[in-house]
Structure 1
């Protein structure tokens, strides 16, 4: 198995509250216990002050650039980047680096939301809503891009803005809906390609862990493991866990246990 380069990002990234900047360490520590690798911590917590995406991006730019440099170093060393990150917007820094090293990969994006708004059509101005569209090159974050159309797959996204739903309908991005046969359907869409795996914890059923958003009809931990098993049929080139605000029905260790198939592939 490829050695893990473990990173915990504790800095700002368009936060609605301060909880993820504190709780993310629990996720990093859970991965550390499983992998016996100490995390490198990037950034520092700062009080949240929700603003428009431009202001939030500039506030986070320095630590996000530091994180991108860390992921670059991990991948250049031939390690698997595994990251505990506060918010989905942190992927603006991580995913372009993975794309540069592995342009053959597909991003598998587990999230109750699609995160494919762009600055011209965002209804909320929330930086997190632009988190995947940036690495896809649909707008310029200044942190890079690299994944082309057809190289991203949404999983479990069920709270889509109208423009995001239109992207799905038009086939600009694939959506694997939750339900029977999830693992096999996901594996079919991946089609053997290398995978960069992104988990937003709000894809889970509300209450499994604490999250900013509560969107009903989500994944169980068993369903999450089914996704991990499907992804593990392919080469894993990146793993990140975002939007964890605290333990709920499950602990951080139980959350990471559900992802175990990817760490042993």
Structure 2
């Protein structure tokens, strides 16, 4: 991972392989493709948490109950990575994995801001969700807006949204009141993000649907998103800060016959500034 110094940082690479509120099975495959590509690029071994299981595509409570054992194992793994002095790098299936990871980040690095790249804010609560989708509650749980049973500890002062454009009313209210800042897609977004981060340590969460529809395979196709060049530019700005960790989710498999799949390679090229100083 990158930091304000040129020295390499030892990385703990984790693949969350299980289901976590999936509508289909494709992110369980896509996350494996991503983890394999990261392992090959960085020359580090993968620790796998969970196993692929058939998607249930049911309500948030049933999904959470089914995913909780694997999510607790993911929290334990991330705690181990931090406690071992490693920088966590995680290939996730779905955004809901953040219910487990972000409370651990907040416990180990309460000084870090969580920069949440996503077409959606994922700030709904069980009472206000319009879809009942577990992933739509993924950021709000760690922020303590509802009790997922997996912990919280993240404060709104340390939360930043990037690229969100498909927002529900309750989420829009949090942005309009200034509770959580939103860096919008546009030509100045890299500079805008740098201003909001203001040199603070950063933990980066990337939901691949923050990219414009069709850029990489994802469950949701939301127009008006970031280009890979936008992602590269924002990564360069974030790399000026200490990178506390990186997790990438919602990359589905298009069953590309290339090895590694071309869309995985393109995504990693955009994220290069966050990866160039990683070490085994």
Bin for the TM-score computed over the shorter chain = over 0.9
The residue number in structure 1 matching 2:34 is: 27
The residue number in structure 1 matching 2:3 is: none
1:259 aligns with 2:271: yes
1:17 aligns with 2:24: yes
Shift of residue 262 of structure 1? 1.1
- Name the CA distance, whole Å, in 2 between partners of 1:16 and 1:47: 10
The residue number in structure 2 matching 1:72 is: 79
The residue number in structure 1 matching 2:148 is: 141
Shift of residue 250 of structure 1? 4.6
Q: After the TM superposition, which residues 49-60 of structure 1 pair with which residues of structure 2 at under 5 Å, given as runs?
A: 49-60=56-67
1:228 aligns with 2:261: no
- Name the CA distance, whole Å, in 2 between partners of 1:199 and 1:246: 16
Q: What stretches of structure 2 of length at least 5 have no aligned partner?
A: 1-7
* 1:239 aligned residue (225, 246, 262): 246
Deviations 1:80-127 (A, max 9, x none): 100000000000001111110000010000000000001111111110
- Name the CA distance, whole Å, in 2 between partners of 1:254 and 1:14: 26
Q: What stretches of structure 1 of length at least 5 have no aligned partner?
A: none
Q: After the TM superposition, which residues 1-265 of structure 1 pair with which residues of structure 2 at under 5 Å, given as runs?
A: 1-246=8-253, 250-264=262-276
In the TM superposition, structure 1's runs of 4+ consecutive aligned residues that sit over 6 Å from their partners are none
Higher relative contact order at CA 8 Å, sep ≥6: structure 1 or structure 2? 2
Shift of residue 146 of structure 1? 1.2
- Name the CA distance, whole Å, in 2 between partners of 1:225 and 1:20: 22
Deviations 1:25-50 (A, max 9, x none): 11101111221111111101111111
TM-score of the superposition, structure 1-length normalised? 0.97
- Name the CA distance, whole Å, in 1 between partners of 2:63 and 2:253: 23
Deviations 1:225-252 (A, max 9, x none): 1111111111011100000002589521
Shift of residue 264 of structure 1? 2.7
- Name the CA distance, whole Å, in 2 between partners of 1:32 and 1:253: 12
TM-score of the superposition, structure 2-length normalised? 0.92
What value does the CA root-mean-square deviation take over the aligned residues? Answer: 1.2
CA contact (8 A) 1:137 1:147 kept: yes
Please give the secondary structure, in 2, of the residue aligned with 1:210. Answer: coil
- Name the CA distance, whole Å, in 2 between partners of 1:153 and 1:21: 27
- Name the CA distance, whole Å, in 1 between partners of 2:87 and 2:221: 31
- Name the CA distance, whole Å, in 2 between partners of 1:83 and 1:165: 29
- Name the CA distance, whole Å, in 2 between partners of 1:48 and 1:152: 30
- Name the CA distance, whole Å, in 2 between partners of 1:221 and 1:56: 31
CA contact (8 A) 1:4 1:35 kept: no
CA contact (8 A) 1:83 1:241 kept: yes
